[in-house]
């Protein structure tokens, strides 16, 4: 199965730019828009998480086998200024037959750490019986 991991409607809606996609890795960027802030005027955590999730999803599906997220744990480290360009870089820590372990770093364009994510992916077999 070959999948274009960059053909993600949600990523397009958020204005995400795919900078690099390779086997087990992905680097994406997005500029924080005025509607992406919370009531305190800081970038909404959901936007930061979504950027990390998009990078992770592309990285774990870049092997050519369908995979889905089992867990994602995010730690927010520092806020970013509205209008900042964020970069999320996902990379494989270890990929097994079924489970894959990934790390994602979200930074500002100048390299300041914004968030870190540890994620586990599950490879979905097309031959697996469906639950009923």
Determine the Cα–Cα distance for residues 2 and 64; give it in Å rounded to an integer: 5
> Domains along the chain?
9-123 (3.10.129.10)
Q: Helix, strand, or coil here: 58? A: helix
Tokens read off for 66: 């369908």
Q: What is the pLDDT of residue 126?
A: 58
Instruction: Give residue-wise pLDDT tens across range 91-112.
Output: 999 999 999 999 999 999 999 9
Q: What is the pLDDT of residue 129?
A: 46
Q: What mean pLDDT do residues 25-49 have? A: 95
Q: Helix, strand, or coil here: 98? A: coil
Residue identified by tokens 């270890």 is 94
Q: Are 92 and 81 in contact (CB under 8 A)?
A: no
Q: Are 47 and 62 in contact (CB under 8 A)?
A: no
Q: Are 25 and 2 in contact (CB under 8 A)?
A: no
Residue bearing the bigger pLDDT, 4 or 125: 4
What pTM was estimated for this model as a whole? Answer: 0.91
Determine the Cα–Cα distance for residues 74 and 128; give it in Å rounded to an integer: 30
């Amino acid at each position: 199965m070959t999948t274009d991991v960059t053909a993600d409607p949600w990523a397009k809606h958020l204005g995400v730019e795919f900078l690099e996609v390779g086997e087990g890795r992905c680097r994406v960027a997005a500029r924080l828009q005025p509607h992406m802030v919370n009531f305190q005027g800081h970038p909404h955590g959901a936007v930061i998480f979504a950027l990390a999730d998009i990078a992770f999803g592309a990285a774990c599906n870049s092997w050519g086998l369908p995979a889905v997220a089992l867990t994602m744990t995010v730690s927010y480290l520092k806020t970013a200024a509205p209008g900042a360009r964020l970069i999320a870089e996902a990379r494989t820590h270890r990929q097994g037959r079924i489970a894959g372990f990934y790390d994602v770093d979200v930074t500002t364009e100048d390299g300041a750490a914004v968030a870190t994510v540890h994620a586990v992916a599950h490879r979905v077999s097309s031959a697996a019986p469906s639950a009923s």
